[in-house]
Structure 1
Amino acid sequence: MNFEKLQVWQRSVTLSAALYKGLSELRDFSFRDQITRSGLSIPSNIAEGMTRRTDKEKIHFLVVARSSCAELRTQVYLGIDIGYIHAKLGKQWLEETREISAMINGLMVKLQNND
């Protein structure tokens, strides 16, 4: 399966880029680094997983991607609370992480049903 054709990968790449752009002026470098790493981890793990040979290996990396999505969602909540992320933008990012997580779940189910 070509990961580049997966909508979940494409959307997570777009989200990751949006995080970098949206937080480019943030002077708290450790927070910015952590949240952008979480965002970057999602498409990276999808890509790595989907290039593995077995469905079990693919699912493992999708679990990691889904966990990174949850980590990112937590950081967005915190960023909103401390004023680093505007509420409107943060809500968009939160919704996108929820949808990406659901898409990852769907892909995992599809792979599990291949057995």
Structure 2
Amino acid sequence: MSHFKKLLIWQKSMTLVTSIYQITRTFPRDESLGLTSQIRRCSISIPSNIAEGYSRESPKEYVRFLNISIGSLFELQTQLEIAKNIGYLTPEQFNKQYEDSRELERMLVSFIKKVKEQSKTT
């Protein structure tokens, strides 16, 4: 691969970040330093760690950063659930974001397996 921006997981995670920013604009102002900030930060962490891991010299390091992305993704899923439970997200908004995050989760898990397998053959 010539650049991390060509990775579908990076592209999908960037789309997710954009969507997260759009929906959190509707959160109460007093949440700007709380849940809004936390949701945005963990969503940003997903593509950022994919990109940073890509720059690493070894597959083992790359996998470490991809796993950090998954951790941030799980954190995001939890925070979306909280936002839904306290009424900041409609069920429709939650379902869309959650399903998009689950798709990205499956893609990341698959990609990690691929990177690990490729590192065994090199």
Aligned to 1:98: 102
Separation in 1, partners of 2:4, 2:108:
12
**Are 2:64 and 1:57 equivalent residues in the alignment?**
no
5+ long unaligned stretches in structure 2: none
What TM-score do you get using the length of structure 2 for normalisation? Answer: 0.91
Aligned to 2:9: 8
Structure of greater Rg: 2
**Displacement of 1:24:** 1.3
Give percent identity, aligned residues only. 36
Counterpart amino acid of residue 82 in structure 1: I
5+ long unaligned stretches in structure 1: none
**Displacement of 1:25:** 3.2
RMSD of equivalent CA atoms: 0.8
Which of 30, 35, 48 lines up with 1:31 in the alignment?
Answer: 35
**Displacement of 1:87:** 1.2
What TM-score do you get using the length of structure 1 for normalisation? Answer: 0.96
- Alignment size in residue pairs: 115
Separation in 1, partners of 2:92, 2:82:
14
